[in-house]
Amino acid sequence: RTLQIDTEIKSGERGKMLPAQLPDDLTPEEQQELENIRRRKQELQEDIQRLKDEIAEVTSEIENLGSTEERKNMQRNKQVAMGRKKFNMDPKKGIQFLIENDLLKNTSDDIAQFLYKGEGLNKTAIGDYLGERDDFNIQVLHAFVELHEFTDLNLVQALRQFLWSFRLPGEAQKIDRMMEAFAQRYCQCNPGVFQSTDTCYILSFAIIMLNTSLHNPNVKDKPTVERFISMNRGINDGGDLPEDLLRNLYDSIKNEPFKIPEDDGNDLTHTFFNPDREGWLLKLGGRVKTWKRRWFILTDNCLYYFEYTTDKEPRGIIPLENLSIKEVEDKKPNCFELFIPDNKDQVIKACKTEADGRVVEGNHTFYRISAPTAEEKDEWMNSIKAAISRDPFYEMLAARKKKVSSMKRH
Ligand SMILES: *[C@@H]1O[C@H](CO)[C@@H](O)[C@H](O)[C@H]1NC(C)=O
Ligand SMILES: *[C@@H]1O[C@H](CO)[C@@H](O)[C@H](O)[C@H]1NC(C)=O
Ligand SMILES: *[C@@H]1O[C@H](CO)[C@@H](O)[C@H](O)[C@H]1NC(C)=O
Ligand SMILES: *[C@@H]1O[C@H](CO)[C@@H](O)[C@H](O)[C@H]1NC(C)=O
Ligand SMILES: *[C@@H]1O[C@H](CO)[C@@H](O)[C@H](O)[C@H]1NC(C)=O
């Protein structure tokens, strides 16, 4: 018997018809080759069947093209495309159009699904829709965030995914709602990583700000990983986050900045500047007019000063509320002054620790401070001004930070 082969199968250097029966004079190599050729033939036959099926399918599609069903589909696709265009111009109207034409169900889940897929949608428009204050939009926001899968992603990976799915709008309240939803979802997918949603929220912003500090060429002062770690001290409900976790996140951002859709050069940090900073400065005494070197930390709308960088308790705390700042001339270089505007003689509300450990009210009508360089003076003044200027976002963040820092872990 011979094999029925309708295609000549070329194999190796020879192409020939194959006998079914193995001639008994074949070497093992030749037997193997024959076996290979048979297998190949089997595969080719299967391929041919697949192609035939595909042709049948396409033929039937072509036949149906003229049918009413198909015309309806084309009409539908046209309307969806129109709905997307409308959405990009005015998100609410676009959604309304799609619902009224039965192209989208009026449920938060269906709308969220539509936005998450995002096909043909402008990410700025998605951000605007998700940021709306209305109860229904907030439901959609939550459904949208739930569609993101963050399990086993570190916070930077999750943020990359999240911030790429729409463009975060510029308003503080909107950003707050969206990032709160993000933090809840992250903690839900990764229980046990953070003590609370607040911790996740605060760290997320620390990371977004780090992104700008490290990658925006206008920021001269590039934080080191040590500074990043120290700036995030105490945010895990009063405790510290594991150092290697923070190091990992730092490295990830350092190696690759966040990408955001519609990047127009206005990164998020233009919306809320993070004024936090720390460093050595000279401070003029209140009663005794001597200059003392102190380690200053600006955070949570307060200026703290320490005798040593390692001290746990500050020597003094100056709340920046109601204060102004100006440059002043002094025998010391690079001086600036904190004062109460329109009230030169009033004592600034502040506290300090006496040598014997008692905490007493400060006795300063102004604080005069000298920075080591002109550049550092400018940086400190900018940061303090930003802290004083009551950026609504910064205030929200500072309030949350205060909350988690003051919590005691059990
Ligand atoms: C969709 O439902 C919400 C409340 O569930 C309602 O306020 C809104 O008007 C509805 N939209 C449309 C286009 O029907
Ligand atoms: C998306 O919309 C924004 C605001 O209307 C616009 O500036 C931007 O160019 C649009 N993006 C695209 C890709 O069309
Ligand atoms: C991260 O930094 C890059 C470079 O400055 C910037 O283009 C991007 O918008 C920033 N991302 C965020 C989320 O701020
Ligand atoms: C700031 O001013 C407001 C209004 O005058 C006052 O109620 C508040 O106590 C002041 N805060 C500080 C820290 O002086
Ligand atoms: C504050 O300083 C003034 C004079 O500089 C002094 O009269 C007053 O007793 C001081 N108050 C405190 C609480 O030290």
Residue 349 near ligand 4, beta carbon < 6 Å? yes
Cα separation, 222 vs 273, whole angstroms: 15
Mean predicted confidence (pLDDT) in 19-46: 84
Q: Which one-letter amino acid corresponds to residue 101?
A: N
Q: Which atom of ligand 3 is nearest to the CA of 260?
A: 9
Specify the residue with its C-alpha closest to ligand 5, atom 10.
Answer: 363
Distances (CA, A) of 393 to 135, 317, 389, 399, 402: 22, 23, 11, 10, 14
Would the pLDDT of 351 be above 60? yes
SS3 state at 346: coil
pLDDT tens per residue, range 212-221: 889 887 777 7
Specify the residue with its C-alpha closest to ligand 5, atom 12.
Answer: 363
Mean predicted confidence (pLDDT) in 369-388: 92
Q: Which atom of ligand 2 is nearest to the CA of 89?
A: 5
Would the pLDDT of 258 be above 50? yes
Mean predicted confidence (pLDDT) in 353-362: 88
Would the pLDDT of 15 be above 60? no
CA-based nearest residue to 333, from 303, 373, 368, 304? 373
pLDDT tens per residue, range 57-114: 888 877 776 677 778 888 899 999 999 999 999 999 999 999 999 999 999 999 999 9
Q: What is the rounded average pLDDT for all residues in the chain? A: 87
Which positions are catalytic? 171
- Residue 134 has what pLDDT? 94
Pocket perturbation via mutation, ligand 3, pick of 219, 258, 270, 273 by most ligand atoms within 8 A of CB: 258
Q: Which one-letter amino acid corresponds to residue 141?
A: L
pLDDT tens per residue, range 313-335: 899 999 998 899 999 999 999 99
- To 10 degrees, what angle do helices 172-189 and 197-215 make? 120
- Asked if residue 349 lies in contact with residue 367, where contact means CB atoms within 8 angstroms, the answer is no
Cα separation, 22 vs 28, whole angstroms: 11
Residue 352 CA: which ligand is closest?
5
Q: What percent of the chain has pLDDT over 70?
A: 90
E strand segments, 154-313: 277-284, 291-299, 302-306
- Residue 151 has what pLDDT? 97
Mean predicted confidence (pLDDT) in 187-198: 96
Between the CA of 79 and the centroid of ligand 2 the distance, in Å, is 21
